Amino acid sequence: MRDPFRLLLVGGLGLLLSFASPVVLFVEASSIVVGKSSVTLELRGKTIPVFLYKPESFKGERILVVMHGVNRNAEEYRDHAEKMGDRFGAMGDRFGALIVTPLFDTKQFPSVKYQRGGVVDKENRVQPRDEWTYLLIPEIVGGIRDLENKRDIPFYVIGHSAGGQFVVRMSALLNTGAKRLVSSNPGSLIFPSRDSPFGYGFGGLPDELSSDEQLKNFLSAPLTLYVGTDDNKPDEYFDDSADAMKQGGGRYQRSHACFEMAKRLAESKGWPFGWRIVDAPGVGHDHELMFNHEMCEQALFGD
Q: What is the pLDDT along the chain (303 residues), one digit of tens a residue?
A: 333 333 332 222 222 233 334 444 444 444 899 999 999 999 999 999 999 999 998 988 999 999 999 999 999 999 999 999 999 876 555 578 999 999 999 999 999 999 999 999 999 999 999 999 999 999 999 999 999 999 999 999 999 999 999 999 999 999 999 999 999 999 999 999 999 999 999 999 999 999 999 999 999 999 999 999 999 988 888 989 999 999 999 999 999 999 999 999 999 999 999 999 999 999 999 999 999 999 999 999 998
pTM above threshold 0.85: yes
Mention every residue, 6+ apart, whose C-beta is less than 8 A from residue 157: 64, 65, 67, 137, 167, 170, 176, 178, 180, 181, 182
Q: Please give the Cα distance from 50 to 39 (Å, whole number).
A: 5
Within a domain: residue 220? yes
Q: What is residue 139's predicted lDDT score, i.e. its pLDDT?
A: 97
Within a domain: residue 57? yes
Q: How many CB atoms lie within 10 A of CB 223?
A: 26
DSSP the chain: ---TTS---STTTSEEEE-SSSEEEEESSSSPPSEEEEEEEEETTEEEEEEEEE-TT--SS-EEEEE--TT--HHHHHHHTHHHHHH-SSTTSS---EEEEE---TTTS-TTTTTTTTSB-TT-PBPPGGG-GGGHHHHHHHHHHHHTT-TT--EEEEEETHHHHHHHHHHHH-----S-EEEES-SS---S-SSSBBTTBSBTS-HHHHSHHHHHHHHHS-EEEEEETT--S--TT---SHHHHTT-SSHHHHHHHHHHHHHHHHHHHT-----EEEEETT--S-HHHHHHSTHHHHHHH--
Within a domain: residue 7? no
Containing structural domain, residue 114: 44-301
User: Which CATH number is 151's domain given?
Assistant: 3.40.50.1820
Within a domain: residue 12? no
Within a domain: residue 226? yes
Within a domain: residue 137? yes
The total number of structural domains in the chain stands at 1
Q: What is residue 89's predicted lDDT score, i.e. its pLDDT?
A: 75
Within a domain: residue 21? no
Within a domain: residue 189? yes
Write down how long the chain is. 303
Q: Please give the Cα distance from 52 to 39 (Å, whole number).
A: 8
